[in-house]
Structures are given as structure tokens and as C-alpha cells.
């Protein structure tokens, strides 16, 4: 198998890994993202929403692949992920890897079809091209591998026509009909409710039930697909959905259906930006103009109730005002960082400054887009909550490494051996080319990621051992 380049979105991967380890530590080895106390939101191109012919596990897998790829560099085509982390993210607790492999192969059935009419004067059928959503897939050495076509990667990075989705919610659906209908409704939610009137065939396409001939009759369609989908969406998501029907004139036969939906706080609240035109404009501003990165977006979406569109817009106005009037004070070098601070503190443009501006009447300022270098650095800045979590992790890691240095040779060996059995080590091993049978002393000193991750493991092992004062040395270290 060809060498796989480590995932480009290291921050996103680390966030998912920390969520994985926290949940597993709290709920046990069979825990999945459905048991997590936090969420992962990601943008999904609306072209990818209209897929068909695949089961619910394959749909979950495609979303996880999308999440891992959406913020990686455009030129990166190949990705890999620890198999336990991948199973956690798709809400799959079974040890049956045959079903996992089957679902991964199933993802290769999905494709994007682009059709184009022939030029005027030329008859014949339209031209078309079909591009698989994912190409190579595989499971080997405890990792899941997948590769995208360059055209698909361009759609991952296309800022137009996307929908913010939650991995925790989409991975909770047990029915592919619910999964398909939910994503479709989210992708058109900015148009408002209700939807347009759909023929039964069109409604079946929305639920990915068009190939089931026995559902041609509305009665069977409602029993097998529609009722199941609506029930699961209402129980598990942030949408509450109902539907209305219309009969054939002069008949009791149902010919059309439309969906009426509204936001709700269900059992699995989606912590994401709601798909409205206002939210889309805000996202484009934060990503393009201020250079906001993935970590800050996760901090925003995780607090969507607090960070309302009005509060987001107020912070945007504050930053723009400071950038347009930097002659009065220090120039704004990192608008993304200033925006997150303004958002957290609830800053607004002072009315006194607005009054002064009205008197001076300066020429309208052209708001510059963040330079690439600035945007790159700003994208690495962390939101306030994530920054605090990361700082806590770093301090614990350094303290744990100091404790490791105080251990004798036997204890050090046992601690390293237990660390190599964790999912965190498997991710680091793939990225840092580590040997699990030999302690990389030099890299423990020079690599902060490795040192702090190992140190955090040591500290957790010691805390666990403290609860068992009468156990053996190995058990005291949490290695039994």
C-alpha cells in the first residue's frame, strides 16, 4: 500500500482524539460519540448531501472522512485515521470488523454526477461525468485509509453551498432514511419552512428510497421510510419535522407531500451554526476576512446558544471599526484573535466613537482581507474554551513527564508499554514514525506533542493507582 500522508487538520484530529479518550475514560471501551459530552461540527458541501444507495453506516463513514479532510490542504488527497477513533466517530461499538469493511466498500458506490447539455445545434444525449466521493479505502495495521479524487477535494474546500452538520447527531440515526432526510432539510433550511410541494417520487429521492418499488404506494412509503425518518429526527436532532399531504383532485389518492420543520432542543442538540443566509454571510466573513480557523469555529459552534447571530455580528462590527480606525491606536494585526476576544467579552462599538466618526466624516474605509500569512497564523489561534482545555492538557502533560523521570527503570518501561496500547499513541506513531518497542528519549525531550501526551498518560495512571493503595506496583501504575 502506498505511503499515507498524515492528516493535514492536526488540530481537528487532536480535538477528536481528546474527545475520544475523555469519553472512553468516562463510559468505558464500548463508548461512542453518542456518549460524548461535547460535539464536533463540520461544513459539508451540499453536493455531497444528495447521495443514494448506501446504508446508514456508510453515510456516517463518509461524514467522518469529510470532517477529517475539510480543513486539510487542498493538495492532500490521502488520509488515515486510527481504527478505534474512526469507529468511535461513526458510533460503531461492535468488534465485528467485517461489517466495518463492508460499509467502507459501500462508500465507494457513492458518486457526484455532473451533466452538461451539448452545444446548440448538436443533438444527442447530454454529456456527463461521474466522480466517486471516495476512491481507495482500506483497513490495515490498526488504521483506516482513504483517498479522494482532486475534484472532490476542490468541493471540500469550496466555500459556496455548504451545510454545518454535527457528527454526534448524524451518527446517532439508525435509519438511512432519517439520515438522508435530516441532511436534506438542513441543506435547504435557509429557505424557510415549509418546503415546496414534492411528488411522492421526489419525496422518496429525499429519503433515498427511490429504488424500492414496493414503496410506490404512499401507505408503504409512510410505514417503512417516512414515519421512521420523522420519528428519529424528532427524537434525536435539533429539528422537529411534520409533513402535509395533498390528494389527486377528485380522489383520495395522495399525490404530493411537503415538510414543515422548526428548530428544537432534542435529545441530541446539534451544536452548529444554523443554516440561514445570515449565518452563511457570517461564516464567509469569519473564514475569509478574519482568517478564523477550525478550532475557533468549534468553540463558536459549541456555544451556539450564547453566540447568537446578533452577538456574532456585533463582534464583527467591532473588529471592522477597529481596523478602519487604527490610526487612533495600535494597528490590528490579527483580526481573528481580536474577534474571538470581542465575542467572548461581548464588546460592541462605543457610541462615543460613532459620534466622533460622524463629526470627522472620514472617507469610507475598504476592509482588507486578511493576508495569507495572517490568516494562516490566525487559523492556529484557539478559542477561549479550547485554549483553556489545551493549556490544562499541556500543564498536566509536563507534570506527568516530570513524574516519569522520577520513576525507576522498571516503572518507566511499564509506563511506556501501557502508553503504546492507547489510541493516542497510535495516532502519534503514524505521524512521528515511532517505535512502540523502544522509548524515544530524544523525541520525548524535543517533541512537545509526544512529551505532553505521554506525560498526561503517566499522570492519569498515577491517579488511577492512587485509588488502589494495596495493589502491586504494576497495578498501582494503572497498568494491570
Residue 458 vs residues 42, 325, 404: alpha-carbon distances, Å: 32, 50, 7
- Is 414 in the same domain as 349? no
Task: Give percent of the chain above pLDDT 90.
Answer: 15
Asked whether residue 116 carries a pLDDT value surpassing 50, the answer given is yes
- Is 47 in the same domain as 163? yes
- Confirm whether 477 is domain-assigned: no
Cα-only R_g, the chain:
26
Asked whether residue 477 carries a pLDDT value surpassing 50, the answer given is no
The predicted pLDDT at position 272 comes to: 39
- Is 266 in the same domain as 317? no
Average pLDDT on 105-116 reads 80
Model pLDDT for residues 117-166, shown as the tens digit of each residue: 556 656 666 677 788 889 899 998 888 999 999 888 888 887 777 888 88
- Confirm whether 128 is domain-assigned: no
- Confirm whether 449 is domain-assigned: yes
- Confirm whether 127 is domain-assigned: no
201: burial class by Cβ within 10 Å (0-12, 13-18, 19+)? exposed
What CATH number is given to the structural domain containing 145?
A: 1.10.10.10
Which residue would you say has higher pLDDT here, 363 or 164? 164
Q: How confident is the model at residue 368 (pLDDT cuts 50, 70, 90)?
A: very low
- Is 438 in the same domain as 401? yes
Among 339, 357, 382, identify where a domain stops: 382
Model pLDDT for residues 260-312, shown as the tens digit of each residue: 998 886 444 433 343 344 555 676 677 677 877 655 765 676 566 677 777 88
Highest mean pLDDT among 274-283, 363-372, 452-461: 452-461
Model pLDDT for residues 64-85, shown as the tens digit of each residue: 999 888 878 888 899 888 888 8
- Is 328 in the same domain as 258? no
Asked whether residue 326 carries a pLDDT value surpassing 70, the answer given is no
Which residue would you say has higher pLDDT here, 410 or 204? 204
Contact 65, 107 (CB under 8 A): yes
The predicted pLDDT at position 182 comes to: 94
Which residues have a Cβ under 8 Å from the Cβ of 179 and sit 6 or more positions away?
56, 59, 60, 170, 173
Residue whose cell numbers read 492519569 = 460
- Confirm whether 437 is domain-assigned: yes
Among 382, 405, 429, identify where a domain stops: 382
Question: pTM for the whole thing?
Answer: 0.57
Q: Where is average pLDDT lowest: 6-10, 30-34, 81-85?
A: 6-10
- Confirm whether 478 is domain-assigned: no
Q: Which helix (H) or strand (E) holds 437?
A: none
- Is 72 in the same domain as 188? no
Residue whose cell numbers read 473588529 = 319
- Confirm whether 105 is domain-assigned: yes
Model pLDDT for residues 209-239, shown as the tens digit of each residue: 887 777 878 888 889 889 999 999 998 888 8
The predicted pLDDT at position 230 comes to: 93
Asked whether residue 467 carries a pLDDT value surpassing 80, the answer given is no
Asked whether residue 8 carries a pLDDT value surpassing 50, the answer given is no
The predicted pLDDT at position 148 comes to: 92
Distance CA 187, CA 276 (A): 10
Alpha carbon 157 to chain centroid, angstroms: 14
Among 228, 245, 274, identify where a domain stops: 274
- Confirm whether 5 is domain-assigned: yes
Which residues have a Cβ under 8 Å from the Cβ of 203 and sit 6 or more positions away?
221, 226, 257
Domain count, the chain: 4
- Is 78 in the same domain as 42? yes
- Is 283 in the same domain as 391? no
- Is 57 in the same domain as 188? no
Domain encompassing residue 29: 1-120+133-167
- Is 368 in the same domain as 313? yes
249: burial class by Cβ within 10 Å (0-12, 13-18, 19+)? exposed
The predicted pLDDT at position 474 comes to: 45
Which residue would you say has higher pLDDT here, 280 or 313? 313
- Is 404 in the same domain as 460? yes
- Is 355 in the same domain as 429? no
Amino acid at each position: 500500500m502506498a505511503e499515507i500522508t498524515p492528516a493535514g487538520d492536526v488540530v481537528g484530529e487532536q480535538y477528536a482524539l481528546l474527545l475520544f479518550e475523555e469519553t472512553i475514560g468516562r463510559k468505558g471501551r464500548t463508548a461512542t460519540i453518542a456518549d460524548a459530552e461535547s460535539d464536533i461540527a463540520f461544513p459539508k458541501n451540499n453536493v455531497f448531501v444528495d447521495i443514494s444507495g448506501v446504508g446508514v453506516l456508510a453515510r456516517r463513514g463518509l461524514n467522518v472522512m469529510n470532517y477529517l479532510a475539510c480543513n486539510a490542504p487542498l493538495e492532500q488527497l490521502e488520509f488515515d485515521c486510527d481504527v478505534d477513533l474512526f469507529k468511535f466517530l461513526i458510533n460503531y461499538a461492535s468488534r465485528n470488523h467485517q461489517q466495518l469493511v463492508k460499509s467502507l466498500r459501500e462508500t465507494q458506490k457513492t458518486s457526484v454526477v455532473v451533466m452538461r447539455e451539448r452545444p446548440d445545434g448538436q443533438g444527442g444525449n447530454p454529456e456527463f461525468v461521474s466522480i466517486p466521493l471516495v476512491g481507495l479505502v482500506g483497513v490495515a495495521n490498526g488504521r483506516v485509509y482513504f483517498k479522494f479524487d482532486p475534484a472532490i477535494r476542490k468541493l471540500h474546500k469550496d466555500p459556496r453551498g455548504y451545510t454545518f452538520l454535527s457528527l454526534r447527531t448524524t451518527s446517532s440515526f439508525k435509519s438511512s432514511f432519517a439520515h438522508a432526510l435530516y441532511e436534506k432539510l438542513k441543506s435547504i433550511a435557509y429557505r424557510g419552512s415549509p418546503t415546496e410541494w414534492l411528488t411522492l417520487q421526489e419525496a422518496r429521492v429525499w429519503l433515498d428510497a427511490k429504488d424500492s418499488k414496493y414503496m410506490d404506494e404512499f401507505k408503504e412509503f409512510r410505514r417503512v421510510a417516512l414515519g421512521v425518518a420523522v420519528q428519529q429526527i424528532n427524537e434525536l436532532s435539533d429539528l422537529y419535522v411534520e409533513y402535509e399531504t395533498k390528494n389527486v383532485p377528485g380522489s383520495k389518492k395522495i399525490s404530493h407531500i411537503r415538510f414543515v420543520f422548526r428548530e428544537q432542543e432534542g435529545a441530541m442538540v446539534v451544536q452548529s451554526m444554523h443554516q440561514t443566509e445570515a449565518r452563511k454571510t457570517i461564516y464567509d466573513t469569519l473564514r475569509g476576512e478574519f482568517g478564523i480557523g477550525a478550532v475557533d469555529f468549534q468553540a463558536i459552534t459549541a456555544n451556539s446558544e450564547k453566540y447568537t447571530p446578533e452577538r456574532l455580528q456585533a463582534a464583527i462590527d467591532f473588529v471592522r471599526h477597529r481596523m478602519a480606525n487604527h490610526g487612533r491606536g495600535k494597528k490590528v494585526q490579527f483580526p481573528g484573535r481580536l474577534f474571538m476576544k470581542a465575542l467572548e467579552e461581548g464588546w460592541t462599538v462605543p457610541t462615543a466613537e460613532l459620534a466622533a466618526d460622524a463629526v470627522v466624516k472620514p472617507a469610507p474605509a475598504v476592509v482588507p482581507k486578511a493576508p495569507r500569512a495572517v490568516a494562516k497564523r490566525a487559523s492556529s489561534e484557539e478559542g477561549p474554551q479550547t485554549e483553556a482545555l489545551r493549556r490544562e492538557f499541556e500543564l498536566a502533560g509536563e507534570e506527568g513527564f516530570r513524574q516519569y523521570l522520577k520513576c525507576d527503570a522498571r516503572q518507566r518501561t511499564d509506563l511506556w508499554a501501557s502508553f503504546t496500547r492507547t489510541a493516542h499513541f497510535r495516532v502519534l506513531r503514524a505521524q512521528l514514525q515511532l517505535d512502540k518497542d523502544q522509548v524515544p528519549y530524544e523525541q520525548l525531550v524535543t517533541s512537545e506533542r509526544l512529551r505532553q501526551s505521554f506525560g498526561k498518560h503517566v499522570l492519569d495512571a498515577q491517579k488511577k493507582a492512587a485509588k488502589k493503595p494495596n495493589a502491586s506496583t504494576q497495578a498501582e501504575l494503572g497498568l494491570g
